[in-house]
């Protein structure tokens, strides 16, 4: 059975000059409201007073807009200011949950700086935003912003987040509650995937996927752009232009890597009924001399893609424990002959005489371990419904809407 889930749909925006100024004003007002609310709660904590509730913060926000010092807050939509208070509540909740061990460790909320290169604001349904018949995104007190649509939205969104990234690009991000998708044609094989650096992935059927090394290939251009940035005077307009060039170069690398991950994960989902991967200790490997290559490969980002695509389209996804001795066990006879140095890429099993390729042998063992997991748990080996990758309000399932299109978060 295929279940409903939340997906994020992102689209490139192309605001004109006045619209960019209006968005900059909105980003600044949202930052001020967030920092004011955080200061009030921190002062109350330092004084030993009870925590200030969101309702009280909202009342103070409404009162401050009537004062001469904060009258300019009325120039932007009040909805995005209220959403800043919700974001602060979420930040505190996540921090306290991390202290209780309910989520990975994280720090308390921090003050936002006007020098942050990434800015975001969120409009909910009561803000009055909509997609115009001409395909533009109408934002309150901003205007009709041109959008580069690439795919139809599966349901009507209730919120939109406008993001400006470090490279100066604008995006509209929707979180959509998708209905059950039509399951892909059932196939029988299950494939094991061994991730590595020499080859990005080695499959249990013997195929080896080359690693494109996106960062390594772009190092020459990045080095040139970074050198030009270091020569500019701090605080100057030319330095800001050089910074944007560096950010755009890094954005091109990240976009190319993400596209490669999507294409490969989609191919695996379409061709195999079950996909198994090894749960690698990426944080530990990132502290070694291989750190740059490990980050360049992007294993963590890749593994999340077949996981949610399998959930959406009725495939099986299994994570194999990182302590499984996949490289120490002969895939032909099952004899464990101990660890081997990394320079040993091929060896002959002393028990059965089989000539084994290190990576293919590991991938076959991953597939076998996945088969054991499937038989142990039954045919239904799928995780719980996966949320969107970042916390945002979702939507209510409704009939397919207008002509909005998706950019690339869910390529399958």
pLDDT of residue 402: 42
Among 12-21, 110-119, 163-172, 344-353, name the one with the lowest average pLDDT: 344-353
Q: Is 255 a catalytic residue?
A: no
From the number of C-beta atoms within 10 Å of its C-beta (0-12, 13-18, 19+), residue 92 rates as middle
Secondary structure (3-state) at 131: strand
Q: How are beta strands 316-320 and 274-278 bridged, if at all?
A: parallel
Catalytic residue among 87, 177, 307, 359: 359
Q: How many helices (H) and strands (E) does the chain have?
A: 10, 15
Q: Note whether 10 and 149 are within 8 A (CB).
A: no
Q: For residue 337, what pLDDT band results from cuts at 50, 70 and 90?
A: confident
List the beta bridge partners of residue 11: 172
* pLDDT, mean over the chain: 85
* φ, ψ for residue 168, nearest 5 deg: 80, 15
Tokens of 359: 């990576």
Annotated active-site residue 359? The verdict is yes
**Would you kindly state where each structural domain of the chain is located, as residue ranges?**
5-178, 190-377
Active site (annotated) includes residue 278: yes
Bridge-based pairing state of the strands 137-139 and 130-131: antiparallel
The whole-number average pLDDT for the span 134-148 is 95
3-state secondary structure of 180: coil
The whole-number pLDDT of residue 181 equals: 64
Q: What is the pLDDT of residue 60?
A: 92
Q: Give the Cα separation of 286 and 360 in Å (integer).
A: 24
**Which candidate in 278, 296, 307, 392 is catalytic?**
278
pLDDT score recorded for residue 312:
85
Cβ partners under 8 Å of residue 229, min gap 6 = 239, 242, 243, 245, 246
- Is it the case that residue 387 has pLDDT exceeding 60? no
List, for residues 253-267, the tens digit of each pLDDT value. Answer: 999 999 999 999 999
Q: Report DSSP letters for 203-215, one per residue.
A: ETTS-EEEP--HH
Q: Is 319 helix (H, G, I), strand (E, B) or coil?
A: strand
Axis crossing angle, helix 237-271 with helix 299-313, rounded to the nearest 10: 50
Catalytic residue among 194, 296, 307, 392: 194
Strand order in the sheet with 170-178: 119-123, 160-164, 170-178, 5-13, 147-148
- DSSP letters spanning 247-269: HHHHHHHHHHHHHHHHHHHHHHH
């Amino acid at each position: 059975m295929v279940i409903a889930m939340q997906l994020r749909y992102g689209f490139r925006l192309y605001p004109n000059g006045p619209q960019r100024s209006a968005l900059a004003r909105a980003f600044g007002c949202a930052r001020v409201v967030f920092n004011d609310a955080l200061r009030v709660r921190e002062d109350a904590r330092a004084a030993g007073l009870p925590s200030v509730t969101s309702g009280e913060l909202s009342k103070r926000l409404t009162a401050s807009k009537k004062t001469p010092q904060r009258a300019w807050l009325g120039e932007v939509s009040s909805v995005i200011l209220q959403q800043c208070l919700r974001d602060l509540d979420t930040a505190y909740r996540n921090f306290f949950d991390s202290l209780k061990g309910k989520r990975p460790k994280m720090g308390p909320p921090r003050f936002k700086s006007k020098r942050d290169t990434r800015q975001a604001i969120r409009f909910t349904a009561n803000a009055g935003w909509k997609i115009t018949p001409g395909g533009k995104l109408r934002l309150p007190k901003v205007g009709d912003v041109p959008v580069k649509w690439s795919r139809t939205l599966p349901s009507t969104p209730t919120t939109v987040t406008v993001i400006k990234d470090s490279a100066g690009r604008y995006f509209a991000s929707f979180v959509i509650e998708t209905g059950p998708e039509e399951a892909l044609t059932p196939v029988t094989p299950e494939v094991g995937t061994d991730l590595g650096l020499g080859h990005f992935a080695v499959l249990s059927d013997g195929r080896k996927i080359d690693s494109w090394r996106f960062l390594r290939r772009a190092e020459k251009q990045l080095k040139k752009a970074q050198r030009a940035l270091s020569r500019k005077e701090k605080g100057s307009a030319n330095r800001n232009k050089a910074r944007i060039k560096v950010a755009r170069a890094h954005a091109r690398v990240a976009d190319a890597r993400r596209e490669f991950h999507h294409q490969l994960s989609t191919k695996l989902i379409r061709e195999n009924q079950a996909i198994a991967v090894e749960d690698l200790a990426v944080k530990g490997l990132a502290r070694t001399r291989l750190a740059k290559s490990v980050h360049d490969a992007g294993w963590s980002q890749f593994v999340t893609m077949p996981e949610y695509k399998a959930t959406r389209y009725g495939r099986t996804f299994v994570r194999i424990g990182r302590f499984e001795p996949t490289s120490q066990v002969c895939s032909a006879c099952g004899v464990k002959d101990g660890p081997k140095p990394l320079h040993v890429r091929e060896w002959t099993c002393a028990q059965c005489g089989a000539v084994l390729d290190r990576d293919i042998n590991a991938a076959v063992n991953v597939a076998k371990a996945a088969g054991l997991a499937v038989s142990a748990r039954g045919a239904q080996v799928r995780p719980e419904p996966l949320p969107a990758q970042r916390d945002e309000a979702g939507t209510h399932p409704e009939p397919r809407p207008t002509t909005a299109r998706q950019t690339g978060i869910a390529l399958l």
